[in-house]
Amino acid sequence: MARALPAAPKQPGEAGPGSGLSLLAGSEPAPPGADHEPAGRSCRACFGSDFGLRLRQGAGLVKTKRPSHAPISRSGRFVSGPSEAVARFTESVSFDRRLWAQDIQGSLAHAAMLHKVGLLTRAEYRDIRAGLEAIAGEIRSGHFVWKPELEDVHMNIEAELTRRIPAGAKLHTGRSRNDQVAVDLRLWVRDEIDGLLEDIRTLMRALVRLAGRSTEIWIPGYTHLQRAQPVSAAHHLLAYVEMLERDRSRFRDCRRRLNECPLGSGALAGSTLPLDRAFVARQLGFVDERGRPRVTRNSMDAVSDRDFVVEFCAHAALLAVHLSRLAEDLILWNSAEFGFIRIGDAFTTGSSLMPQKKNPDVAELVRGKAGRVIGNLTALLVLLKGLPLTYNRDLQEDKERLFDTADTVRACTRVLAQMLDEVEFQPDRCAAAVADPNLLATDLVDALVRRGVPFRQAHHLVGAAVARAEQLGCPLPQLPREEWKRIWPEFDPSLLEVFDLARAMERRTLPGSPGPGQVNRELKLWQRRLA
């Protein structure tokens, strides 16, 4: 969810705002005389009047001979507008309008700062704030008309504001679209991380619930997709909880690093105006754990930095890999060859030809979508690798990759959480699979080691016994005693007690092992942590 949209501090005796787009707590008071015309009015008035006229021309307030398809960002430097082909090719509002809430949030904070430092009168600030809040309401309700000829989300909002309110021409004072989009992206990624952290938490809870229903279910654990040793189904599921917790930790680290405010960096070299970057940082929540403002420290880096986008997409790619691995286990377990689980009808599909089919398409799509998330990360890295400092238009291409990554991993995380509540283990099939005595061959090696046999010798002896049992077509525990004696003359039949599965699992008491005691402790730990 987007943070509350900030506003400037109230003047003495000024009524509080009635809109939901309210001030963040702890705003600083405006300087004395801020409700009067700012100092140096004559010089700034000339610039503001000229710039405002051009902006209102672009917004349609003043008739002009400006060529069609000429965005207001072209200013007086150009004698003609871009061709229709260029306008279509370069527009980004078709996708970057997803940043509208963050753009207005940043603009409200910027306007509040301009008012605080005396670059906006109180009346101008009030008009700008009311106009931005009205536009936000229209966008939220779906009534705002986006214009591709205005290029992007920033110019669409600013042009509409200026069409309605002449003071809107002053909103861009001390700001470039370079630092504007940088702050929008940071706010957007920060919001997405907050939402994704909760989505992952919900999935972890679903895994813990399924594990809690499956503590008495034993299944083979696999290496190389070959049966290896017995584990509990709960222990297997909790392995994914551990992966997801690492994912959460990485996203929290990413959030901490990106939480610096780039506004005030301008196009690349800051501004000569008396901007208050710390004020804006506090307004937008760019603060440390002690509430101190955090601002970027190099204007060139600030406007060209997309490390936080790459980092988010890298962490998302690893999350997608974890989700894909979980999906693959569910797909295998759901197959007729395994038969360990059944997935509810609501999360499976059928065949257009074969009436008996019940396919795990949801899990298959989660597995498949990992590829596009990894591809988005690769695209971003290639996009950035050759860019000189500072901003380059190439960076327009970061947003679709970012948006798609966030949408994809959040959708996969949510649907898996819902599906897991419709998954049930099949005790009989699991018991039949885990009854394979070869799963406990390593336990027999351990028993020999406890009797003083060197590990490598014990490993060789048990391997020979397994091979001989396969030759004779009998289970390992039923290998005739004389065969055991040929392999190891000191064989003692009491060694075969290791093939009691329940007792074998009880012996697994090391921290992190799949023994019942350890698994129950881990379950309780995660239930407490995720409550």
Active site residues: 224, 351
Q: DSSP characters for 28-65?
A: PPPPTTTTSPPTTHHHHHHHHHHHHHHHHHHHTSS---
> In the 8-state DSSP scheme, what is residue 426?
-
Say if CB 114 and CB 63 are below 8 A apart: no
> In the 8-state DSSP scheme, what is residue 420?
H
Say if CB 59 and CB 160 are below 8 A apart: yes
Q: What is the b/e burial string over 53-88, where b = at least 16 CB atoms within 10 angstroms of the residue's CB?
A: ebbbbbbebeeeebeebbbbbbeeeeeebbeeeebe
CB-based burial label for 241 (10 Å; 0-12, 13-18, 19+): buried
Cα separation, 168 vs 11, in Å, equals 20
Q: What's the CA angle centered on 186, arms 180 and 190, to 5 degrees? A: 150
Q: How many CB atoms lie within 10 A of CB 510?
A: 9
Question: Residue by residue, what is the 3-state secondary structure of 324-366?
Answer: HHHHHHHHHHHCCCCCCEEECHHHCECCCCCCCCCECHHHHHH
Cα separation, 523 vs 521, in Å, equals 5
Q: Where are the alpha helices (DSSP H) in 119-176?
A: 122-141, 153-164
Q: How many residues does the chain have?
A: 531
